[in-house]
Structure 1
Amino acid sequence: MEFLFGIILLALDIWAIINIVGSGASTMGKVLWVLGVLIFPLVGFIVWFFAGPRSARAAI
């Protein structure tokens, strides 16, 4: 069960990082958001989901 949770969390974190890199945020903002998601995988993802930069595609 923990393995499945880990795989799901990894997939969600990768999805978040891809969206962060594709966002219109500044370079430093992107670096800080990616570090937050990498250092704190679950909490970082939750915070990014509600408060993080959105991809440029989502803004259209």
Structure 2
Amino acid sequence: MSEDFNMTMRKFLKQVGVTSQQAIEDAMRTAGSDATAGKDFSAKMVLTIDGLEVEHIVTGTIKGRD
């Protein structure tokens, strides 16, 4: 794969990671510790790429703040 491809893919994935973490942290803060303490939350990330017919789903669990 080309250097441009690698660079743009890494930049996109970094943006996804950083902005997703911020969104999760904001949601946890907004919900408050009483609503999140000791709870597990199911999470799902869906990646679609127009023109490539890609749909990639990642699921996991995020533990609430104590």
Q: Which interval holds the TM-score relative to the shorter structure?
A: 0.3 to 0.5
- Higher-strand-fraction structure: 2
Tell me which structure has the larger Cα radius of gyration.
2
TM-score, normalised relative to structure 1: 0.44
Higher RCO, 1 vs 2 (CA within 8 Å, ≥6 residues apart): 1
- Higher-helix-fraction structure: 1
TM-score, normalised relative to structure 2: 0.41
